[in-house]
Amino acid sequence: MAPFDDTQPDAQDAVIRVRGLVTRFGPQVVHDGLDLDVRRGEVLGVVGGSGTGKSVLLKEILGLIRPADGRIELLGRDTADLPEAERVALQARTGVLFQNGALFSSMTVAQNVMVPLREHTDLPAALAAEIARVKIAMSGLPPNAGAKFPSELSGGMIKRAGLARALALDPDILFLDEPTAGLDPIGAAAFDQLIRNLQRSLGLTVFMVTHDLDSLTSICDRIAVLVDKKIRVGTLEEHLRDSHPWIHDYFHGPRGRAARHAES
């Protein structure tokens, strides 16, 4: 039996609450009765082997894929069968950074960041442009990046621009899909630090799908591991004591050890 159990309602205020989630693709069952709570203000890292449905879980919480069964609550609202207006309002309170940035290639970075501002608020154009500039700078991009097109940016800059767009509306929850994938170690560490700083200053809750053990050890408060079609949540220390073979191999493997050493 797992050393900790997440099926009990969490004592702390949960901004994402998943209960009994079942996901099926044809005969293949990806999630079977998965429960998960994400607490307000924490950075949760989600890990799991290839094909365990990390990105699928992310898309289900965002409402991009419908689960076969189960309930997903986002900020206290059941995401299934939400009226259109409430669904839009809920979307304005979440920000997503997709794996490859997913910037609109026909717009400049500043225009990309202004899309949610224009769509969800009635700010004067000059103020919206200023807010976009502030977000771009807060995401660690140089001032001249706003006028550039995504095709002119490097991979790391695209991620930062995607982050600026995700943060445009000051969301409550920030979803990150493999934020450090494709970045060099220095860039990845800087990006981790950026996420941590923004999380503190903006009071974000961060749901981060990642493979990067350094990110897990350095910025995540808790780690959710997808194993056996369910999820096990705990701190790094708790997972280190877990005897499940995959979890043991993951955290005690050479890379896991190296990341922990770097941290200590």
Partner 1 sequence: MARERAWLESSRAGDGEWRLTALGHWDLKAAGDLSGTLDRFALDGGGAVSLDLSRLDAMDTVGAYLLSTLSDRLKAAGHGVDLSAIRPEHAALFDAVREVGPPPVERAETHHPILDMLERTGRTAVDGLREGRDLLSFLGLITITFGRLIVNPRRLRFRSVMFHIEQTGLNALPILGLLSFLIGVVLAFQGADQLRRFGAELFVVNLLGVSILREIGILMTAIIVAGRSGSAFTAQIGTMKVNQEVDAISTLGLDVVELLVVPRALALMITLPLLAFYADIMGLFGGAVMSYATLDITFGQFIRQLHGAVTLPHFVVGLVKAPVFALVIAMVGCYEGLKVSGSAESVGTLTTKSVVESIFLVIVLDAVFSVLFSFLRL
Rounded to a whole number of angstroms, the minimum distance from the CB of residue 229 to partner 1 is 32
Q: Which residues of 68-96 are buried (b: 16+ CB within 10 A; e: fewer)?
A: eebebbbbeeebeeeeeeeeeebbbbbbb
x/- binding map, residues 232-261, to partner 1, per CB under 8 A?
A: ------------------------------
Judged by beta carbon, residue 67 or residue 101, the one nearer partner 1 is 101
What are residue 23's DSSP bridge partners?
31
Contact pick of 197, 252, 257, 263 for partner 1 (by CB under 8 A): 197
Largest distance between two CA atoms of the chain:
58
Could you say which residues in the range 165-194 bind partner 1, by CB under 8 A?
167, 169-170
Judged by beta carbon, residue 58 or residue 131, the one nearer partner 1 is 131
Judged by beta carbon, residue 82 or residue 102, the one nearer partner 1 is 102
Judged by beta carbon, residue 47 or residue 110, the one nearer partner 1 is 110
Q: Considering only CA atoms, which of 22, 40, 42 is closest in space to residue 30?
A: 22
Identify the DSSP state of 137: H
Contact pick of 19, 87, 133, 229 for partner 1 (by CB under 8 A): 133
- Give the chain's end-to-end CA distance (angstroms, integer): 30
Q: Considering only CA atoms, which of 231, 156, 163, 243 is closest in space to residue 195?
A: 163
Q: Are 23 and 17 in contact (CB under 8 A)?
A: no
Rounded to a whole number of angstroms, the minimum distance from the CB of residue 106 to partner 1 is 4
Residues that bind partner 1 (CB under 8 A): 105-106, 121-124, 127, 130-131, 133-135, 137-138, 143-144, 149-151, 167, 169-170, 197-198, 200-203
